[in-house]
Chain A
């Protein structure tokens, strides 16, 4: 049976492993229990800085630490990182200080907390900032691997993790995970589904559904939204001639926006976007939210059928 885990646990595990580097410090804004930085705090309290419920201050304390030779990892809910957007823009990205920001509980998948907690715009806003690397991994293994690679990045980053458990894809495949490199999790030739986060699993289910009706679909885990793996997009745009993007995020400005911006100037093939259609969510379970927002595998399959028609 497939192992289930939450990506936020991968983040917490990675911080513990990174602790052997004495320059790694953790910043919290009263949500360490949720983002999973609490394991680091428990073992390395002297290198864990509580910023209280004050995200704006936290981001800039991180900037000051980074400017002083430390490698700060700051986390809170994805939605609360957004109130510190200008600090991220002017205090972190602009001077290119390597503060690593993790926004947990991202997307509508976060569920019953309701619309105030469901960040559906975080990937879009951070993607607009020069110097910032933006990631949204799909399982705990890839989250851990990507997080462990951050100290060598020497640039700021934003990573979205999710609250709830999803199937683990990469057990034993850690060496396939590299910042900025998409992973072909299933090959195919009719359509390429480029997905991130929770929607990678829905895309895999859709690929199985479509296979049964003779549509051969590739699934690419685009865990790094910026810099975008354009080599991978070139290859699959040529090979499949049609793309679906899939994300638990607004259709405006996220992974779908990034892919569309790229292919319109290189290889403008038919494309469909699966994502939150410019609306807010509400309180419901993760599964109910994905269904309500049109993010389930059957929604992807329907888009695939439409796309096949557009191709011909």
Chain B
């Protein structure tokens, strides 16, 4: 496990944002918006917290990170490259035949990916299984899961939410990436979710709300997650879809669309590439 300072984590996130733009531009497909909203949290986890071994990605007692919003794979691949699980060259294989960087994160294809995602609402249940396994083994490894805010419209998320507290899974930690936008439109136009923290609280989870782009707050929230041991805990992270690229920010058009040549050049310039 590496331990990076706040500024080092911020720099890691900046580099990842550049990769996200490059990957989606190269593929002329993919999901930049949700990758850019999640990336600060992913960098804090991989840069500063997860007990994993890039040289031994299947190490049995590693912490797990399950990206349930598996379409936001460019963010995951960028972090895996920055952490040494895959090479930066591998990022060129995003959405390319035979590439380790499949369209949606896939544990069978990419070293360091713990869950084959792609269909929303599945990762928390899978994470619960991993958490039960760790508990049965008496291992102190931790299971982190990330879901999107649109994703929690899937009913099965709440089956998992209820079951995780029933089984007192203090080793199960969740981030909800609340970027307020889903595929077709803003969440409030598709399905209003009202008070998201209150929903988790009512299911028995420990809940904390943060700014998901403030690296200091993210690091502190991970420490807070680690301090909860008697029940599952969730950080509801308020984020901005497309964060870091002006024309993608808060723009539903960049949920699942790639930048063109001109847009890429603006994005790279804004990100200091």
Chain A contact residues, CB within 8 Å of chain B: 25, 46-47, 49-52, 54, 56-57, 59-70, 72, 86-87, 90-91, 94-96
- The reply to whether A52 and B163 contact each other, CB–CB distance below 8 Å, is yes
Chain B residue at minimum C-beta to C-beta distance from A95: B116
Majority DSSP secondary structure for residues of B touching A? helix
Which residues of B have CB within 8 Å of A59?
Answer: 125
Which residues of A have CB within 8 Å of B166?
Answer: 50, 52
Which residues of B have CB within 8 Å of A70?
Answer: 133, 136
Which residues of B have CB within 8 Å of A96?
Answer: 108
Given known contacts A61-B125, A91-B122, A96-B108, A52 and B159 CB-to-CB distance under 8 angstroms: yes
- 10 of the cross-chain contacts (CB-CB < 8 Å) are A50-B166, A60-B129, A63-B125, A64-B126, A65-B129, A67-B114, A69-B60, A69-B133, A72-B129, A87-B122
Given known contacts A68-B134, A69-B60, A91 and B126 CB-to-CB distance under 8 angstroms: yes
Contact with A along B168-195 (1 / 0, CB 8 A): 0000000000000000000000000000
- The reply to whether B116 and A91 contact each other, CB–CB distance below 8 Å, is yes
- The reply to whether A52 and B136 contact each other, CB–CB distance below 8 Å, is no
Chain B contact residues, CB within 8 Å of chain A: 60, 106-108, 114-116, 118-119, 121-122, 125-134, 136-137, 155-156, 159-160, 162-163, 166-167
For the complex formed, measure the closest distance between the CB of B59 and the CB atoms of chain A, giving whole angstroms.
12
Given known contacts A51-B163, A52-B166, A56-B156, A64 and B132 CB-to-CB distance under 8 angstroms: yes
Chain A residue at minimum C-beta to C-beta distance from B125: A60
For the complex formed, measure the closest distance between the CB of B160 and the CB atoms of chain A, giving whole angstroms.
5
Which residues of A have CB within 8 Å of B118?
Answer: 90
Question: How far is A65 from B132 in the complex, measured between Cα atoms in Å?
Answer: 7
Chain A residue at minimum C-beta to C-beta distance from B157: A57
- The reply to whether B133 and A57 contact each other, CB–CB distance below 8 Å, is no
Chain B residue at minimum C-beta to C-beta distance from A56: B156
- The reply to whether B162 and A54 contact each other, CB–CB distance below 8 Å, is yes
Our pick among A56, A64, A90 for the contact of B127 (Cβ within 8 Å) is: A64
Contacts A65-B132, A65-B133 known; 11 new A-B pairs at CB < 8 A:
A54-B163, A57-B159, A60-B122, A61-B129, A65-B130, A68-B60, A68-B130, A68-B134, A86-B119, A91-B119, A91-B122
Our pick among B114, B119, B121, B159 for the contact of A54 (Cβ within 8 Å) is: B159
Question: How far is A62 from B118 in the complex, measured between Cα atoms in Å?
Answer: 18
Chain A residue at minimum C-beta to C-beta distance from B114: A67
Chain A residue at minimum C-beta to C-beta distance from B162: A52
Find the residue from A61, A72, A86 having the highest chain B CB count within 10 A: A61
- The reply to whether B160 and A64 contact each other, CB–CB distance below 8 Å, is no
For the complex formed, measure the closest distance between the CB of A40 and the CB atoms of chain B, giving whole angstroms.
15
Which residues of B have CB within 8 Å of A69?
Answer: 60, 133
Which residues of A have CB within 8 Å of B160?
Answer: 54, 57, 60-61
Our pick among A61, A65, A95 for the contact of B107 (Cβ within 8 Å) is: A95
Question: How far is A56 from B157 in the complex, measured between Cα atoms in Å?
Answer: 9
For the complex formed, measure the closest distance between the CB of A190 and the CB atoms of chain B, giving whole angstroms.
48
Given known contacts A25-B136, A90-B122, A91-B122, A64 and B159 CB-to-CB distance under 8 angstroms: no
- The reply to whether A67 and B156 contact each other, CB–CB distance below 8 Å, is no
Question: How far is A69 from B122 in the complex, measured between Cα atoms in Å?
Answer: 19
Question: How far is A50 from B128 in the complex, measured between Cα atoms in Å?
Answer: 12
Chain B residue at minimum C-beta to C-beta distance from A63: B126
Find the residue from B114, B125, B127, B130 having the highest chain A CB count within 10 A: B125
Chain A residue at minimum C-beta to C-beta distance from B130: A64
Which residues of A have CB within 8 Å of B125?
Answer: 56-57, 59-61, 63-64, 87, 91
Our pick among A50, A52, A54, A68 for the contact of B133 (Cβ within 8 Å) is: A68
For the complex formed, measure the closest distance between the CB of A277 and the CB atoms of chain B, giving whole angstroms.
33
Which residues of A have CB within 8 Å of B132?
Answer: 25, 49, 61, 64-65
Question: How far is A67 from B167 in the complex, measured between Cα atoms in Å?
Answer: 19
Question: How far is A52 from B125 in the complex, measured between Cα atoms in Å?
Answer: 13
Which residues of B have CB within 8 Å of A47?
Answer: 136
Question: How far is A49 from B125 in the complex, measured between Cα atoms in Å?
Answer: 13
Which residues of A have CB within 8 Å of B134?
Answer: 68
Our pick among A66, A68, A94 for the contact of B116 (Cβ within 8 Å) is: A94
Find the residue from B107, B115, B129, B166 having the highest chain A CB count within 10 A: B129
For the complex formed, measure the closest distance between the CB of A71 and the CB atoms of chain B, giving whole angstroms.
11
- The reply to whether A67 and B129 contact each other, CB–CB distance below 8 Å, is yes
Given known contacts A68-B133, A91-B116, A61 and B128 CB-to-CB distance under 8 angstroms: yes
7 closest cross-chain pairs (CB), A and B? A64-B129, A68-B133, A60-B125, A54-B159, A57-B159, A56-B156, A61-B129
Our pick among A46, A56, A94 for the contact of B159 (Cβ within 8 Å) is: A56
Which residues of A have CB within 8 Å of B119?
Answer: 86, 90-91
- The reply to whether B129 and A68 contact each other, CB–CB distance below 8 Å, is yes
- The reply to whether A57 and B136 contact each other, CB–CB distance below 8 Å, is no
Question: How far is A87 from B131 in the complex, measured between Cα atoms in Å?
Answer: 18
- The reply to whether B122 and A95 contact each other, CB–CB distance below 8 Å, is no
Chain B residue at minimum C-beta to C-beta distance from A87: B122
Chain B residue at minimum C-beta to C-beta distance from A67: B130
Which residues of B have CB within 8 Å of A52?
Answer: 159, 162-163, 166
Chain B residue at minimum C-beta to C-beta distance from A84: B156
Question: How far is A66 from B119 in the complex, measured between Cα atoms in Å?
Answer: 19
Chain A residue at minimum C-beta to C-beta distance from B118: A90
